[in-house]
Structure 1
Amino acid sequence: MTGRVLITAGASGVGRAMAEAFDAAGAQVWVADVDAAALQACPDHWGRSQVDVSDEAAVAALFAEIAAQWGGLDVLCANAGIAGPTALVEDVALSDWQKCISVNLDGAFLCAKYAAPMLKRQGRGAVLITSSTAGQYGYPNRAPYAAAKWAVIGLGKTLAMELGPHGVRCNVICPGAVEGPRMEGVLQREATAKGMTRDQVYQGYAAGTSMGRFVEAHDIAAMAVFLASDAARLVSGQVIAVDGHTVNPDPKL
Structure 2
Amino acid sequence: MDALKLLTPRAGLRVLVTGGASGIGLAIAKAFVATGARVHVCDVDGRAIDALATETPAITGTRANVADQADVARVFDDLQRELGGLDVLINNAGIAGPTGGIDAIEASEWEKTVSVNLNSHFYFSRLAVPLLRQAPDGGVIVFISSVAGRLGYGFRTPYSATKWAVVGLAKSLAIELGPDNIRVNAVQPGIVKGPRMEGVIAARAKQLGLTYEEMEARYLEKISLRRMVTQDEVAASVLFLSSPAGSAISGQALSVCGNVETL
Residue 48 of structure 2, aligned match among 38, 41, 45 = 38
Q: Distance in 2 between matches of 1:146 and 1:183?
A: 15
Structure 1 residue 201: deviation in Å? 1.4
Task: Give the percent of matched residue pairs that are identical in Structure 1 and Structure 2.
Answer: 43
Question: SS of 2:262's equivalent?
Answer: coil
Residue 12 of structure 1, aligned match among 1, 19, 22 = 22
Indicate yes or no: 2:113 matched with 1:103: no
Which runs of 5 or more structure 1 residues have no equivalent in the other structure?
Answer: none
Q: 1:204-239 deviations in whole A, cap 9, x for unaligned?
A: 111111101100100000001110111100100000
Question: SS of 1:80's equivalent?
Answer: coil
Q: Distance in 1 between matches of 2:214 and 2:148?
A: 19
Does the 8 Å contact 1:4/1:75 carry over to 2?
yes
User: Mean alpha-carbon deviation: is it higher for 91-100 or for 43-52?
Assistant: 43-52
Which runs of 5 or more structure 2 residues have no equivalent in the other structure?
Answer: 1-9
Q: Which residue of 2 aligns with 1:73?
A: 86
Q: 1:11-34 deviations in whole A, cap 9, x for unaligned?
A: 111011101111111111111101
Indicate yes or no: 2:124 matched with 1:114: no
Structure 1 residue 62: deviation in Å? 1.1
Q: 1:49-79 deviations in whole A, cap 9, x for unaligned?
A: 0011100111112112212332210100000
Q: What TM-score do you get using the length of structure 1 for normalisation?
A: 0.96
Q: Distance in 2 between matches of 1:113 and 1:204?
A: 40
Q: Which residue of 2 aligns with 1:232?
A: 246
Question: SS of 2:36's equivalent?
Answer: coil
Q: CA RMSD in A?
A: 1.0
Q: Show structure 1 runs of 4+ deviating over 3 A.
A: none
Q: What TM-score do you get using the length of structure 2 for normalisation?
A: 0.92
Q: Which residue of 2 aligns with 1:26?
A: 36
User: Mean alpha-carbon deviation: is it higher for 114-123 or for 51-60?
Assistant: 114-123
Does the 8 Å contact 1:208/1:246 carry over to 2?
yes
Q: Distance in 2 between matches of 1:208 and 1:66?
A: 41
Does the 8 Å contact 1:86/1:189 carry over to 2?
yes
Q: Distance in 2 between matches of 1:224 and 1:154?
A: 18
Q: Distance in 2 between matches of 1:122 and 1:73?
A: 7
Q: Which residue of 2 aligns with 1:216?
A: 230
Residue 65 of structure 2, aligned match among 19, 42, 52 = 52
* Structure 1 segment 143-222 matched on structure 2, within 5 A: 143-222=157-236
Does the 8 Å contact 2:38/2:83 carry over to 1?
no
Does the 8 Å contact 1:17/1:218 carry over to 2?
yes
Q: Distance in 2 between matches of 1:109 and 1:71?
A: 22
Does the 8 Å contact 2:145/2:186 carry over to 1?
yes
Does the 8 Å contact 1:205/1:214 carry over to 2?
no
User: Mean alpha-carbon deviation: is it higher for 235-244 or for 116-125?
Assistant: 116-125
Does the 8 Å contact 2:139/2:183 carry over to 1?
yes
